[in-house]
């Protein structure tokens, strides 16, 4: 079993450590426990070597959002993780995307209503709103005068 990350009591400056506890079983019965302290120094060195000369920033946090390791100057080890400007920019971007979605849907609905209103508009204008019986000839404009198609 592993403990939460905590600050070690030995060393200057103190560094984060993890305590590991394991039960001791003797002839099938619990005989006590043994514990050990694990330093995170080796993990820290590996992560530091993996980043390109501090051009990549990293922060390792535990399940309680406490900073375990970081190379960022605005974060402190064993304090709560502070979300900075990047989180605010992400929220602004998310809001802009939601607004764009709503505006695009609104414009599509408006254009669809316009399409339905103007559907067959030329025919309705040429008949002055009067219905024409099926099979009857529709009047057409010829030199500005309405005449039936059969007369042309």
Summarised one tens digit per residue, pLDDT across range 118-149 is 887 777 777 665 655 555 555 555 555 555 55
* Res 137: pLDDT: 57
| Mean pLDDT across the chain | 81
**Residue at 115 is within a domain:** yes
* Res 43: pLDDT: 84
Rounded percentage of the chain residues whose pLDDT exceeds 70: 81
One domain for residues 74 and 101? no
How far CA 81 is from CA of 13, 55, 62, 63, 145, in Å, comes to: 20, 20, 9, 11, 80
How many independent structural domains does the chain possess? 2
Q: Which of these three, 37, 61, 82, is where a domain ends?
A: 82
Q: Which of these three, 31, 49, 82, is where a domain ends?
A: 82
One domain for residues 68 and 50? yes
Q: pLDDT, tens digit, for every residue of 77-103?
A: 889 988 777 788 899 999 999 999 999
**Residue at 1 is within a domain:** no
**Residue at 121 is within a domain:** yes
One domain for residues 98 and 56? no
**Residue at 76 is within a domain:** yes
One domain for residues 97 and 110? yes
How far CA 9 is from CA of 15, 16, 92, in Å, comes to: 8, 9, 43
One domain for residues 134 and 74? no
For the question of whether the overall pTM of this predicted structure is more than 0.85, the answer is no
Q: pLDDT, tens digit, for every residue of 102-115?
A: 999 999 999 999 98
One domain for residues 21 and 62? yes
pLDDT at residue 151 greater than cutoff 60: no
**Residue at 57 is within a domain:** yes
One domain for residues 61 and 21? yes
One domain for residues 70 and 107? no
User: Domain containing 27: what range?
Assistant: 6-82
């Amino acid at each position: 079993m592993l403990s939460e990350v905590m600050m070690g009591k030995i060393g200057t400056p103190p560094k984060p450590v993890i305590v590991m506890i394991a039960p001791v079983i003797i002839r099938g019965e619990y005989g006590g426990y043994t514990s050990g302290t694990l330093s995170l120094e080796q993990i820290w060195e590996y992560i530091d070597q993996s980043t390109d000369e501090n051009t990549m920033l990293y922060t390792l946090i535990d399940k309680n959002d406490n900073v375990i390791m970081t190379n960022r100057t605005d974060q402190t080890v064993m304090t709560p993780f502070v979300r900075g400007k990047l989180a605010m920019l992400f929220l602004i971007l998310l809001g802009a995307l939601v607004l764009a979605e709503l505006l695009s849907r609104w414009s599509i609905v408006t254009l669809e209503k316009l399409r339905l209103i103007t559907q067959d508009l030329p025919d309705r204008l040429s008949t002055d709103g009067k219905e024409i019986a099926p099979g009857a000839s529709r009047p057409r404009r010829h030199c500005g005068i309405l005449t039936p198609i059969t007369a042309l």
